[in-house]
Structure 1
């Protein structure tokens, strides 16, 4: 079968554009990681020699390590809670008709259009009124509000793309609704659930604006600690810590890819 030169040219152009986009997206992270291995005292590219000096500095820097633990802990909690709440809301919206359905969907997606600064100030005032500003709850709630829209959008897409034939077959065999959800619905949309959890984790782990308003008890998240540090210093320690953030996020994505495969994840 003879391939049309025009089709071949379009395919090549599409592949070239995709390659350029991937390079542009990955290049900043690659430059940061390479710069973090410098042996010099200033952040520069190309690095002034190769060394893991700044990774040792980062490991021994208590504020950064505490912030890394805080970010990871909060992101894991947010991912779990957003997944539970987002699945329940998405399932109700996708499967049922009830009064206020459109309002519920609009309310769930509203954080996507509300400026993060406005959201952070509003939550800070709310928890200050409740005298809870020195607890983890404001930070958790702020990140949860930001993560739920992404979780719901992902799960709604998964529910819409899969046929309900298996669920109906289970109900015809007199399985309870809860059993149908547990044994059929959840396994079928598992890639969507894991994708939603990744979105929630990354959204929480990398958030700066809301986190800056809702830090508690002297504990700050890693992005906020980075921005605070950059105000007074710009040594390669910033690149080393940024590389750790990139590697944590990449490790989570690769774990999911190993579990369910890249194509199903996408």
Structure 2
């Protein structure tokens, strides 16, 4: 009886802790979205009345509109490049033994441990040296470097769990390496690849530090535009723009989860 009571208390405590964690994760986004629907002129929560006027203001703001489009386009390009490069790197690390393999792995994952400010300054100096500063290509390279570790780690984890018996069976039936890749490896790794897509897209879309160093002129990403706006203004417009960012991020995760057919977090 005492054991059942203890188990029940542990179960209730576990649910309470999980509920608290979920609440802590959801509350900031809920407060931002709630504040964006205020009818007042000042950013506050609870909102003073209910109105969608600040979303209209956000849509009519040319700077935010251009930055949103740039961020979406950049994140899409970065995701594609990171996925191609990251898949090749993860495949080489998983399938081949070569001198310096661990050093190569550490190099790929190094952006995770290098402070973002140092990384941004170093990339800026490199791009100036190569004459690629103040170009969209330089911004693309910087974002690919930052997102690549997430792609490599995700794909490496998926390849570790990959059942190579199916691949070897196809090769024993004289299937070409390209056909094995296209019909066996990629379909079986589909959930892992889509998870890598989410990590790359969200990381690039929400990056601030690196984009501050590499952005220029009209090529200012949405997070940097938000950061600059907050320095001089404190109206609900920023909450409306931030809500759009939240919706885009959550929609990307949900769509990829539905396409893959499995939960990203599983």
Tell me which interval the TM-score lies in, with the shorter structure as reference length: over 0.9
Residue number in structure 2 paired with 1:126? 126
- Cα distance in 2 between the residues matched to 1:216 and 1:103: 34
Task: Provide closer, same or farther for how the CA distance between residues 31 and 262 of structure 1 changes in structure 2, counting only shifts above 3 A.
Answer: farther
Contact 2:226 2:238 in 1 (8 A): yes
Contact 1:192 1:265 in 2 (8 A): no
Contact 2:195 2:264 in 1 (8 A): no
SS of 1:149 mapped into structure 2: helix
- Cα distance in 1 between the residues matched to 2:184 and 2:245: 36
Residue number in structure 2 paired with 1:191? 191
- Cα distance in 2 between the residues matched to 1:4 and 1:92: 51
SS of 1:253 mapped into structure 2: helix
Contact 1:136 1:216 in 2 (8 A): no
Larger displacement relative to structure 2 (213-222 or 104-113): 213-222
- Cα distance in 2 between the residues matched to 1:262 and 1:20: 25
- Cα distance in 2 between the residues matched to 1:96 and 1:196: 22
Residue number in structure 1 paired with 2:153? 153
* TM-score normalised over the length of structure 1: 0.96
Residue number in structure 1 paired with 2:57? 57
Residue number in structure 2 paired with 1:87? 87
Contact 2:37 2:54 in 1 (8 A): yes
For residues 1-266 of structure 1, the aligned pairs below 5 Å read 4-263=4-263, 266=266
Contact 1:147 1:204 in 2 (8 A): yes
SS of 1:220 mapped into structure 2: coil
Contact 1:256 1:265 in 2 (8 A): no
Larger displacement relative to structure 2 (93-102 or 24-33): 93-102
Task: Provide closer, same or farther for how the CA distance between residues 28 and 144 of structure 1 changes in structure 2, counting only shifts above 3 A.
Answer: same
* TM-score normalised over the length of structure 2: 0.96
Task: Provide closer, same or farther for how the CA distance between residues 162 and 9 of structure 1 changes in structure 2, counting only shifts above 3 A.
Answer: farther
- Cα distance in 1 between the residues matched to 2:14 and 2:173: 48
- Cα distance in 1 between the residues matched to 2:40 and 2:264: 43
Instruction: Give the Å deviation of 1:177.
Output: 1.6
After superposition, the CA RMSD in angstroms is: 1.3
- Cα distance in 1 between the residues matched to 2:204 and 2:140: 9
- Cα distance in 1 between the residues matched to 2:264 and 2:237: 37
Larger displacement relative to structure 2 (253-262 or 3-12): 3-12
Task: Provide closer, same or farther for how the CA distance between residues 264 and 128 of structure 1 changes in structure 2, counting only shifts above 3 A.
Answer: closer
- Cα distance in 2 between the residues matched to 1:8 and 1:190: 39
What per-residue deviation string (whole Å, max 9, x for no partner) do you get for residues 28-86 of structure 1?
00110010000100000100100000000000000000000111110011111111111
Q: Count residues with an aligned counterpart.
A: 264
